[in-house]
Structure 1
Amino acid sequence: MDLGLTGKVAVVTGGSEGIGRAAAQSLGREGASVVVCGRRADVLQHAAEEVAEATGAQIVPVSADVTQPTDVERVIQTAVERFGRLDILVNNAGTSATGEFESLTDDAWQDDLDLKLFGAIRASRAAIPHIRKNGGGSIVNILNLGSKAPGPRSYPTSVSRAAGLALTKALSKEFAGDRIRVNAILIGLIKSGQHERRWRAAGSSGSLEDFTPRWRALRARRSVGWARRPKWAT
């Protein structure tokens, strides 16, 4: 499939594993150069090397925390300085956070919003001037189904993601005139390292398969395969 990405430059946050890594690999296979960021430098470096080897693309790892504004600016600047442009931003950084409403502290709410909502705000704000300069491009926000149909005890994630959906819609309308597309991908359960860590943290006596709900857990690469097709973008 040729998506016309040869020579384009992308930034993927949360790019060390799961959907972020799969997004970087898909973009690389389509001819894009990719800057990936994540908090775990060793895991990120290993992922970048493997993706580069698999795709032949230039994959640049940058250790960064999207809750830190200066880190986000450094990631975007790395892409521009290294490749001279920026065309695509994938806001993927995040983690699962759920709990009973009465047990969640203000800090738990603030931490989740800072990572998922404000992380996307910071990255988009830093990226948009560069994307506009190239005559347009694309921002993709990775959200989840809970942003539209939250379940019990799905907070704070579902609330943060609902705000992310509102952000997506507002940005898409404001920057349409600059030819910047802003879309959201609403994912379901993804079989990834994050899901496995939840299983281990739960201390379940059963297997990972037993811990996984009865509905099918899609592999991360399959989710991104769908996300690559415009008709699947929300």
Structure 2
Amino acid sequence: MASQNPLANNNADFRLENLFSTKGKTALISGGGSGIGLYIAQALAVNGARVYIFSRTPEKVNRVAETFSQDADGKIIALQGDVSSKESIKSLVEEYSKHEDRLDILVNNAGIAGSTVNFGAKTADELSDNLFNGDSFENWENVMRTNVASAFFVSAAFIPLLNKSSETQKDWSATILNITSISGSLKVSQHHPAYNCSKSSANLLTKELANELALNGFKIRVNAIAPGVFHSEMTTGSSAPNQKSKIENDKYKSLPSGRPGEDRDMAQAALFLILDQYVNAQSVIVDGGE
């Protein structure tokens, strides 16, 4: 009898359905009622995950859960929560724990753009007035609270459930995915400096969380996607009845992609960072070469 080749590989491990399957996984996504949060929720549910999405507006997440659970191997479940409130985050943990005893995937996606300021000026006095009187401490506080602090506190609150995910599943590390922005890596303000600074901070928070969790011996990976322009409520101001959006202009034809980012582009990036167990503390730019 011929001996088994010790160098033979298991080809089944390299099939796409095994490389990118989220079958049986649990996920929680903030801001899952539209845009990028919806795209990631759909990608995970289609590939077999039970995906809990939440926002402050139940109508949106309820609509997404009803629409995109159809024909999916997994399921999307709507919850309600406010990422800017500690009390709401604690209630969210309690509500989620009624359904699941572990959390495999946490996506911190909720964010706001905040107000814009005018950097165009012909004199120093004019520029000073534009910046000083055209912005406010309240705007900066709201943007930083929603775009940075919320990712910190939501992640902190779910560490026990994330840790249980890693402890109870062989060859799996629970993962946190933060949605930041290409704006956090630019030297131009784009007329919303608070937003850009918040996204830069979110990228740094990603590295710090990944490092501190590892130093404490917890097998929880933390990565970020820094998107460019995608079809979303933030870029268009509204959504279609299915909660997806569409940018209607030719501004982005000069990109190598020839278009803004689409739902499948985000799905591919998210599945890679969530499922590749050897990627940690990275912020991956997905911007079409902008």
Question: Normalised by the shorter chain, which TM-score bucket?
Answer: 0.7 to 0.9
CA gap 1:92/1:108 in 2 versus in 1, 3 angstroms:
same
Residue identity over aligned pairs, in percent, reads 27
Aligned match of 1:84 in 101, 107, 122? Answer: 101
Tell whether 2:228 aligns with 1:228: no
SS of equivalent to 2:193: coil
Q: How does 1:38-187 map to 2 (within 5 A)?
A: 38-100=55-117, 101-102=131-132, 103-134=134-165, 135=167, 136-152=173-189, 153-176=191-214, 177-187=217-227
Distance 1:213 1:193 in 2: 20
Q: Which has the higher helix share?
A: 1
Cα RMSD for the two superposed structures: 2.2
Give the letter for the 1:106 counterpart: F
2:174–2:220: 8 Å Cα contact kept in structure 1? yes
CA gap 1:13/1:122 in 2 versus in 1, 3 angstroms:
same
1:9–1:34: 8 Å Cα contact kept in structure 2? yes
Give the letter for the 2:149 counterpart: F
1:35–1:75: 8 Å Cα contact kept in structure 2? no
SS of equivalent to 1:209: coil
Structure 1, unmatched stretches of 5+, are 199-206
Aligned match of 1:194 in 227, 234, 242? Answer: 234
CA gap 1:173/1:186 in 2 versus in 1, 3 angstroms:
same
Structure 2, unmatched stretches of 5+, are 1-15, 118-130, 168-172, 239-246, 284-290
1:65–1:71: 8 Å Cα contact kept in structure 2? yes
CA displacement at 1:212 relative to structure 2: 6.8
Query: What TM-score does the superposition give when structure 1 sets the normalisation length?
Result: 0.87
Query: What TM-score does the superposition give when structure 2 sets the normalisation length?
Result: 0.72
2:113–2:143: 8 Å Cα contact kept in structure 1? no
1:143–1:164: 8 Å Cα contact kept in structure 2? yes
CA gap 1:213/1:155 in 2 versus in 1, 3 angstroms:
farther
